Structure 1
Amino acid sequence: MQRVFRNRVEQGLSTKRYLFYIAQNYAYAMLRPLQDAILARGDQVYWFLEGSEVNPNHLKSTELRWHSVADVIAWQPDVAFVPGNVVPSFIPGLKVALFHGFDTGKRKSEGNKGHFAIRNCFDLYCTQGPSTTGRFQELAKQHGHFEVVETGWAALDPLFKPMADNPYMSQDGRKTVLMCSTFSKQISCARTLFDTVKDLMATDEWRWLIQFHPKMEPEVVQMYQALCDEMPNAQFIETDNVLPLLTAADVMLCDTSSIVLMFLMLQKPVVTFNNKVPGPHLYNITDAAEVHHALTHALTYPAALMQGIADYTQSLHPYRDGHSSERVLAAVDNLLAKGTSHLKAKPSNLIRHLKMRKKLGYWKI
């Protein structure tokens, strides 16, 4: 990787080549702020879509895509950015982990799984804030084959910049409730709260926006779609970009989904149902009968709750300048400049990489 970049520079090809390696639709919105920063520098971006769960129709007409691994390898990217968990070792370039969400803490009992799982794929982790950076730095010392730099999460850059023409903003002065839910049946609030939400929608007190994790079971999606079709004050939204929804809402109703933490970054209250890691930053309830009271009280922005949110988000993601993308690129530039010879070799993970070769249909050495 390091040798390839230097040779291209020696040939007068000073622009860097960045690959966006994605497997889920939510990655589009997460990576576009970084794409904007890259293009502003005059460098190149190509997308590579892995698997059947990512829809190519979400690509914009101006965005470039490689259709095969062979194309990617022939192009020789300097860097592969990944908002997921794994990337094949045969993809060229520096492998950079950007994360697809915040650490909700729901899997802390399982040690270093979940957000902190080290799958031996990456050279650099760009962490979101102090609450996770320290642990990743400890893991870097333990494993020795990657670096860690706290940059903030590039996906949130648009959240801290003016957002024009948001179609989800209230037009009649009513408060807007955004209901979200994770797909895991064990912690999802969607089924349990369906009747309660239906009754609240019927009162016409608030506007409702409903958005679920893309892996939500189809039956639940259909239930809420049908409900929103019946209610003039409700809208069910399937989107690859949740940021306009977060901006438009006044309060969120959710469970233990990581989208809760994204919403908190706007210093707005969240009512959670049976959250697995409750704290002073959340208005957590355990009974569906409490939903109306909880939402009503949260919308008064109580001082203790808002202070809890402020304290929590300062540790989670203290960057509010909208320039985390630039910090990511600076961290990558630094590692490209010094190379990776100081890092240990990654474990081979032979079985995983054989599976990925089979999945991608690529067997060349």
Structure 2
Amino acid sequence: MDYLAATADKKYLMYISQNYSYAILRPLQKEILARGGEVKWFLEGDEVNPDFLHSDESCLTSIESVIDWNPDISFIPGNIIPNFIPGKKVAVFHGFNSGKLNRRGYEDHFNIRGCFDLYCTQGPNTSKRFSELSKAHGFFITKETGWPTLDPLFSKMANNPYIDESDQRQTLLICSTFSRNLSLAPKLYEQIKAYSEQGKWRILMQFHPKMPSELVAKYKALQNENLTFVETDNVLPLLQAADVMLCDTSSILLMFILQRKPVVTFCNQAPGEHLIDITDADKLTGAIDYAFTRPAELMEKIEQFCQQLHPYQDGLSSQRVLAASNELLLSNPALKPKPRNFIRNFKMRKKLNYWRW
């Protein structure tokens, strides 16, 4: 059966709670609309800005309107969705597995919260684990599809605002996660300040949206002709514009490295041969200079890593996600009931102020 063709006349909900989720789901939205499906967005909470919606995108403004609309499938680039929303629920992830551990010492990427019917995984190094978990739990299935977010990354973007062809310097992109224990931002300020004054490289900076406001303000104050601080809901143009990335343990580094570009990390939680990881700030400049040379041995390790992380460079991951989701909907496989999650769903009802039963 052609499961892509089955998109016509079906309803697809984009359930998001962070601004970066717009860029994650828009390639998928494009495929749905091209095949006659209907898409609506629901913005949960106050950390997602409705101003980032495009004029031709339709938003449901209450949980009641979501339930009345009765979506066939919901796509979630986050961790949870209420069980009282109808239809199948598909996890598409908000990033790669960067090796971050939760409070119990487990990799948070593989935390099964009982919300999803389908996990659309990004590559072999996560598919195997999710397949094992699906067999153990029995209430969801796993399909390796690649990540829809990256579809535009593998084609040249027109009019990229972060590329300055008149500036012949190499471009360094600095990104950081918000976690105080993992973030490079409070630890490397003096080094980055010096780089902004020296002008050796053209520097672009972008932080996780949950970064403390005082740190954001501190780095914004460094902006000059050498350093630009960027706030955006779409990081892909930034990734394409840079030659090397400086990062910590943020999963954005994995998106960058898939372009086969070197990454320097500071105190990364899951270092490997594909990264240039340092723990001594005094070695930072040398590591960045080395990365710009793109040494052959490092580039070979990066290629091997990318084949396990996300082998798809065809820009068709959205099609694979859509086909897998439609197959789930139409074949309706015999799965165990999902956990009731009474406490979590009560909290979601309270948060969303929804008490209809």
Under TM normalisation by the shorter chain, which class is it? Answer: over 0.9
Q: Write the deviation string for residues 163-214 of structure 1: whole angstroms up to 9, x where unpaired.
A: 1100101331110000000000001111111100111121111100010000
1:84 and 2:86 aligned: no
What letter corresponds to residue 294 of structure 2 in structure 1?
A: Y
1:348 and 2:340 aligned: yes
Instruction: Give the match for residue 232 of structure 2.
Output: 239
Q: Relative to 1, partners in 2 of residues 1:298 and 1:362: Cα closer, same or farther, differing over 3 Å? A: same
C-alpha contact 1:105 1:277 (8 A) present in aligned 2? yes
- Partner Cα separation in structure 1 for residue 102 and residue 259 of structure 2: 25
Q: Relative to 1, partners in 2 of residues 1:181 and 1:156: Cα closer, same or farther, differing over 3 Å? A: same
Instruction: Give the match for residue 63 of structure 2.
Output: 69
Instruction: Give the match for residue 5 of structure 1.
Output: none
Instruction: Give the match for residue 182 of structure 2.
Output: 187
CA apart distance, 1:14? 5.1
C-alpha contact 1:121 1:346 (8 A) present in aligned 2? yes
- Partner Cα separation in structure 2 for residue 323 and residue 199 of structure 1: 42
Q: Relative to 1, partners in 2 of residues 1:166 and 1:41: Cα closer, same or farther, differing over 3 Å? A: same
Instruction: Give the match for residue 297 of structure 2.
Output: 304
- Partner Cα separation in structure 2 for residue 153 and residue 275 of structure 1: 23
What letter corresponds to residue 291 of structure 2 in structure 1?
A: A
Instruction: Give the match for residue 162 of structure 1.
Output: 156
Instruction: Give the match for residue 338 of structure 1.
Output: 331
TM-score normalised by the chain length of structure 2: 0.96
Alignment RMSD (CA, Å): 1.4
Q: How does 1:33-48 map to 2 (within 5 A)?
A: 33-48=27-42
C-alpha contact 2:206 2:229 (8 A) present in aligned 1? yes
% same residue: 58
CA apart distance, 1:110? 4.5
- Partner Cα separation in structure 1 for residue 212 and residue 194 of structure 2: 22
Instruction: Give the match for residue 177 of structure 1.
Output: 172
CA apart distance, 1:113? 4.5
C-alpha contact 2:11 2:72 (8 A) present in aligned 1? yes
Instruction: Give the match for residue 3 of structure 2.
Output: none
1:291 and 2:284 aligned: yes
C-alpha contact 2:76 2:91 (8 A) present in aligned 1? yes
CA apart distance, 1:112? 4.9
C-alpha contact 1:22 1:84 (8 A) present in aligned 2? yes
Q: How does 1:31-180 map to 2 (within 5 A)?
A: 31-107=25-101, 110=104, 112-171=106-165, 172-180=167-175
Q: Relative to 1, partners in 2 of residues 1:22 and 1:38: Cα closer, same or farther, differing over 3 Å? A: same
Moved more, 15-24 or 195-204: 195-204
Q: Relative to 1, partners in 2 of residues 1:24 and 1:299: Cα closer, same or farther, differing over 3 Å? A: same
- Partner Cα separation in structure 2 for residue 14 and residue 143 of structure 1: 32
Instruction: Give the match for residue 313 of structure 1.
Output: 306
- Paired residues in the alignment total 351
TM-score normalised by the chain length of structure 1: 0.94
